[in-house]
């Protein structure tokens, strides 16, 4: 669903991109600034998942606050999160499936999955082909 945002200059921005929305927000609180930086970093590194990472981080902060209010020391909370991270990464490594980057079919499926969450989803087949063909050509030239 698209959101309408008024920027400081009075311009209108229509987007469903979490990072674009957060870029337009002026905040003073350090935690809020960290959340915006987290979204920006997610966008730069992965190009997707900005809303998901903000929701996840917000829930982690909410759960941390609940533990702090129970007088649990911050070091204990951080240690528990580090243990959860380690266990999560182990599970991810167990269930992950390797992708054959030489397989056009697998790469097209991967790209289509990513594009499916975007505004251009209705043109996903066209977008997938337009994104994949140059990539495939570059990969094949590197192999030659």
Q: What CATH number is given to the structural domain containing 81?
A: 1.10.560.10
Do residues 111 and 90 both lie within one domain? no
- Listed in order, strand segments (DSSP E) in the chain are 3-6, 12-15
HSE-CB for 144 with a 13 A CA cutoff: 6
User: Is this structure's pTM higher than 0.85?
Assistant: no
12 strand-pairing partners: 6
Do residues 91 and 120 both lie within one domain? no
Do residues 51 and 114 both lie within one domain? no
d(CA 106, CA 41): 27
Do residues 79 and 111 both lie within one domain? no
- pLDDT, tens only, 54-111: 999 999 999 999 999 999 999 999 999 999 999 999 999 999 988 887 787 887 787 7
Do residues 87 and 50 both lie within one domain? yes
Do residues 29 and 91 both lie within one domain? yes
Residue 30 confidence (pLDDT) above 80: yes
Only one residue has tokens 């930086």, namely 37
Do residues 135 and 71 both lie within one domain? no
Q: Please give the pLDDT value at position 136.
A: 64
d(CA 43, CA 63): 25
Mean pLDDT, residues 115-129: 63
The range of the structural domain enclosing residue 131 comes to 104-143
| Token pair listed for 4 | 């309408």
14 strand-pairing partners: 4
Do residues 91 and 124 both lie within one domain? no
């Amino acid at each position: 669903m698209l959101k309408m945002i008024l920027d400081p200059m009075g311009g209108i921005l229509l987007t469903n991109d979490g990072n674009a929305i957060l870029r337009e927000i002026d905040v003073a609180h350090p935690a809020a600034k960290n959340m915006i930086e987290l979204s920006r970093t997610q966008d730069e590194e992965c190009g997707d998942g900005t809303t998901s990472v903000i929701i996840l981080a917000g829930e982690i902060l909410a759960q941390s606050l609940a533990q702090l209010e129970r007088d649990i020391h911050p070091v204990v909370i951080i240690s528990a999160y580090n243990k959860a991270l380690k266990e999560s990464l182990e599970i991810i490594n167990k269930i992950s499936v390797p992708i054959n980057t030489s397989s056009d079919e697998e790469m097209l499926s991967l790209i289509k999955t990513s594009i499916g969450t975007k505004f251009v989803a209705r043109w996903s087949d066209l977008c997938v082909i337009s994104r994949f063909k140059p990539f495939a050509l570059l990969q094949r030239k590197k192999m030659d």
